[in-house]
Amino acid sequence: MTKRLKCFIYTRVSTEMQLDGYSLEAQRERVKKEAVHRGMKVIGEYSDEGKSGKNVSGRPEFQQMLNDISRMNADSRPDYVLVFKLSRFGRNAADTLSSLQFMEDYGVHLLCVEDGIDSAGAAGKLMISVLAAVAEIERENIKEQTMAGREQKARNGEWNGGFAPFGYKLVYNDRNRGELQIDEIEAELVRIMFDKFVNTDMGLAGVAKYMNESGYRKPLRNNSSVERFSSHFVKEVIDNPIHIGKIAYGRRRTEKIDGTRNEYHVVKQAKDSYELYEGNHEAIISEDMWYKAQAKREVNGYKREKVHSLDHEHVLSALLKCPVCGANMYGAVNRKKKKDGSGEYYTDMFYYVCKNRKLVSGHLCDYKKHVRQDLIDDEVEALIIKAVNDIDFSNDVARELNMNTDVDELYNEIERLEQAKKKEELKKKKLLNQIVSLDPEDDLYDTLYEDLSNCLQEFTRNIAEIDASITRTKISIEGVRSKQLSFMTIDELKAFTKKVFTEMPDSAKKEFMNYIIESIEIFPERQKNGRQVKSIKFRIPAFLNELEGEGVVPRRDEIEEIELGGNSLPNESHDETVVLLSQQKPDDVIEVEIELDELDLTSAESKATYKEIQEYVLKEQGLKVSNLYISQVKNAIKKDCVRKCGIEVGENYNLPKSEDSRQPQCPEEKGARGPVDLCSARTEAERRQAIKDALEHFGMI
């Protein structure tokens, strides 16, 4: 019996081809009829809508089809790929032949229905080579004709299409051609921007700041979703000759990238290298004001040389949080030239500033303080070293990291993250295609490019965050498998931490900080004791477990307590920070937050650890009590103190988060006849009093 052939169907349209009647549906219907006629079974369909055929990179579905061909085994792989015409497969000869050869290497042939070409035979391959070259020539001719038509339209003073530039609206005439008319609301904003830029000492950022702080807002329109003004937007308005009634042609040109076969990029042209034609639209400002603005731009618009140290890293950039608005703080440099005429500079001074104080989009935060990097960096380093050297903290973290964990759950987590990454990459790819398809000659090109680029940055950040989560999960798998962090290797961790801060460059410090720290909160002003760090939330590569802080009750059975504090991290308002860890589903990190409200790094107030409290109770009362029970009693004492002060306490204060949460119980000890309840002979009041006596003994209440 003859084997039935299998095939993929590929269809593609560009905007121009849709107008010619070669719609996706029309192509699909014709190709499917051919498959039925030849007795082929369609096992996959791929379609690129609105994609150019100039190269493969801009066609995600085409690339997916080739990837699927390479991944499928020989039995399930198609015998043919069917396309409507060769031009739908590609219009670039090199790409067409390369893609065809790729398919042929896997035993897959190409069938062009309308052209009647089958690559299975030698004649078919020859015909494809010839027609591919013809298709490429045709594409270049279409491109040249289109550009010539656009230039002629500019000579006639007509708008070349796209969204209307800021200050104008698009009105269609009886010939259905768009004409520019002044939008008075936007035009008034244009006049204000030019007036402030030309007649004051404001720069682009200064004008943007003035517009935002004066309450002016951009009207929302189809190509702009941001009301506030940025320096980039002001620059585009100031530089655009459309506002003096001119039509520019050739401000940006598409040029071939050297060393590539068919890759192009948009190159902005110098002001004296493109043509200005008299437009049919009305001017918003005078030519005199526009040229004055351009003269000022020439003086102020040169590219500044970076003068500060190129190897300096802002170690805590994006980790520090603004104490006013909570936004990330980023590095800044202040460099001043000496006034002695020597031409030399003072030593660079580096600071952290709130990102919402950036001038490009106006001031969105009132925190003006520049936080000195050297002081805050040293303070954070000292706190990290103290945390790492806390014995109880290190041992308990090591024990938690080495708990038996279902590695399959971690692999499932990686798979979930990979799927999320693919979705974000697909969104990013589609957005890139939108950016590539922008018309460089459109007066709104820069505005559209800026808006799309902002969205692109968001997708890029999302992908980076997912990559970081994948990396941390993989590290967790390695940690579980090899148990790299154990009681023996804690000393190695301490040694490595010391080495990072004493021997390694700032770049290594920054990488290390981002690895172990989630966020750092600071006080608005440096405190009397010289401190500015309020709290640090650590990021430990393992699983996300119970929340940090006092008064937290565990939710699962397998519980460990990690005590941060004692002699290493004293605190008057919080005796210590207790992190209750439970085995639950894997996630990115264990979050450990250390509150530092009254921390003094030079003179630590002595406080007892849980171990010392347990030893005292056992010695004085003959009782063994758990860490969790001590914590519960302490919190109950605090609750009583709060009520005595006349402060209302909710009914859920210090209660478990869920009904199945484990309640604190007295520990059991195995004796000769089995487990013995060490607390059975004592009343609840006696047990509480024993712990209270110990807390009073150590001066903790």
Is 210 in contact with 411 (CB distance < 8 Å)? no
Burial class (CB in 10 A: 0-12, 13-18, 19+), 618: middle
In 3D space, the residue among 75, 54, 78 whose CA is nearest the CA of residue 65 turns out to be 78
In 3D space, the residue among 357, 364, 367, 368 whose CA is nearest the CA of residue 213 turns out to be 364
User: For residue 427, how far is the Cα from the chain centroid?
Assistant: 14
**What is the SS3 assignment for 122?**
helix
Provide the β-strand partners of residue 320. 520
Q: What tokens were used for 521? A: 């909160």
The answer to whether 437 is a known catalytic residue is no
Q: How many whole angstroms separate alpha carbon 304 and alpha carbon 561? A: 55
Q: One of 14, 230, 361, 568 is an active-site residue; which one?
A: 14
Neighbours of 565 (CB within 10 A): 22
Q: What tokens were used for 116? A: 């009647």
Q: 682 φ, ψ to 5°?
A: -115, 150
Burial class (CB in 10 A: 0-12, 13-18, 19+), 376: buried
Q: How many whole angstroms separate alpha carbon 640 and alpha carbon 649? A: 10
In 3D space, the residue among 214, 224, 210 whose CA is nearest the CA of residue 167 turns out to be 224
- E strand or H helix that includes residue 537: strand 533-541
Q: How far apart are the first and last CA of the chain?
A: 91
Q: What tokens were used for 191? A: 């006049």
Rg (CA), the chain: 35
**What is the SS3 assignment for 264?**
strand
Residue type, 196: K
In 3D space, the residue among 564, 599, 560, 566 whose CA is nearest the CA of residue 582 turns out to be 560
Sheet of 41-49: strand order equals 41-49, 6-13, 80-83, 109-112, 117-118
* 467-496: b (≥16 Cβ within 10 Å) or e: eebbebbeebbebbeeeebeeeebeebeee
Residue type, 568: S
Which value, to the nearest 10 degrees, does the dihedral of the CA atoms of residues 498, 502, 503, 508 take? 70
Provide the β-strand partners of residue 398. none
Catalytic residue annotation: 14
